[in-house]
Copies of this chain bind each other. A is one copy, B any other.
C-alpha cells in the first residue's frame, strides 16, 4: 500500500526519521506492505517544497545540513511551491494515495501548542492521518483532536511525545485492554535527570548544565527543560490520554531546577535518598512536576543519567513500570515510524 507523507518540521528528528525510513524501506515493504513517498516538506526558516511524484528527502536533509534551502530544489513535474506547513498539508490533502500521513515535528510551544495544533487539525479535517513527536497537540488539545480524528476515520498518534520510542501510549492502548489507569509517577525529562545525577556527584549546577550542553543532551536554550515545562507538557499529555483529564501544561503544578538545587541534591544523597524531578497525576488529583526526595527502594530513584521511567498505577495489575534506559534522536524517529506502522496495521487492504 502506498503512503504519501508530508513532513511539517524538518529539524533533527524529522531528518533522522527520513533516514530511518530509507534504512527500513525493504523491511516496511516486506513485513507491512507499506511503501512511503515523501511528497512534501515544510520548514520554518529553510524553505518548503511539494512534489506529488515524491521528493528525495535524504538529499533534502543533506542540503539543509549544508546550509541550503528547500526553495533551491529544482522544480520538477507536478511540483508546487506551498509557502508553509499549512500549504504543504493542503497539497497532501489533494493526493489520491490510499494513505496520506502528516508527520508533524515542529518544536514545542508551551504557551498554546501552536502552530502544531493548527497543523494537526487541518490534516485530520482533510482526512489525513497524523503522527507527531510534538507534545503540544496532546498536551493542549487531546480530546478535540482525538474526536476529530475519529469522526474522519483517521489516526492521531504521538508515541514520540513521551519517552521517545519506548511505548507508553501504545502500551496502554494495545496491551492493557480492560485495565483502568488510576494514576502515574515518572521521570520524563532526560536533561534534568542527567543534571540531578551530576549534582549528586558533587558538580555545581552551571558546570553540570554546560556539560549536558556540550554533550548535546541539553538545548542551547535549556529553559524548557530546567524550568520543568517539557515535563509539564508530557504530564498534561499523559493525564489527558491515560486519565481522561482535561488539562493543559498551564494547569500542571510545576517546579524546575536551578543553582539552589545542588545543595538539596547532595543533602538527599547524604541521607541515602535521591532527589528527582517527578511527574505525577491521578484521577481527581492536580497533576504536578515536583522535586521529590525518593527512598532507594523507589524505582525512580535508581534512574541515572538520561534514563526515564513511568510507573502506572492500575486497577488490575497494581503498579507496572516501563523504562527507557537509553535515549536519543533515533529513538524519537523510531516512534514516528512505529506510529506509521500502527496506522498501516489499522487499514484493511
Contacts and interface: CB of A to CB of B under 8 A. Distances in A.
Interface of A: 24, 27-28, 31-32, 164-167, 170-171, 174-179, 296-299, 301-302, 304, 309, 311, 316-328, 330-331, 334, 337-338, 341-342, 345
Contacts of A327: 318
Contacts of A323: 299, 320-323
A164 B176 CA distance: 13
Nearest to A331: B317
Nearest to A311: B325
B322 A334 contact: no
A174 B178 contact: no
B331 A325 contact: no
Given A32-B177, A174-B175, A178-B338, A165 B304 contact: no
Determine the main DSSP class of A at the interface with B. mixed
Contact of A318 (B304, B319, B322, B325): B325
Given A316-B334, A320-B324, A334-B317, A167 B171 contact: yes
Given A24-B178, A177-B338, A302-B302, A319 B330 contact: no
Contacts of A319: 325-326
Contacts of A302: 296-299, 301-302
Given A177-B341, A178-B338, A320 B316 contact: no
Contact of A337 (B167, B178, B299, B325): B178
Contacts of A325: 299, 311, 318-321
Nearest to A300: B302
A318 to B, nearest CB: 3
Contacts of A321: 309, 321-323, 325
